[in-house]
Amino acid sequence: MENLYIAATPSSPEVNFDFAQHQLSIRGESYPENAAAFYGDIIKRLREYLASCNNICINVDIGLAYFNSSSTKMLFNIFEAFKTAVDAGNEVVLNWHHYEEDDTIFEFGQELHVDFPEITFVDRPVKAA
């Protein structure tokens, strides 16, 4: 499967899915004008990739400094896809990157951990520059 790379813009994150290496990354800020349109193909390609995985460890890095409510809905769709992959016998290790001082992003990560206990959740606090 061909890898997926989308460069970051001021309102959308960098998406770097290296399917061959089972390394998936979303980094930056996410408040695109139409989150469903931005994430639609990303989620479709992700689900296709995950459906082809069999007893694979998939490493995911998510480092979003900000995301709006419509992006939150899309993120939940992504995590639902990861849950389905785990239920199918894969392991998903989610590295949740956030600034140490950012309680909002930290707490959202904690909520994800509670909502999706099947996913191996790793909290990755980062010092602000």
Closest CA to 24 of 55, 10, 51, 45: 45
DSSP 21-56: TTEEEEEEEE--TTHHHHHHHHHHHHHHHHHH-SS-
CB atoms inside a 10 Å sphere around CB 68: 13
In whole angstroms, what is the distance from residue 1 CA to residue 26 CA? 19
Q: Could you tell me what percent of the chain has a pLDDT over 70?
A: 99
Domains and CATH numbers, the chain: 4-126 (3.30.750.24)
Using the predicted structure, report yes or no on whether residue 17 has a pLDDT greater than 90. Answer: yes
pLDDT digits (tens, 9 = 90+) for 35-86: 999 999 999 999 999 999 999 999 999 999 999 999 999 999 999 999 999 9
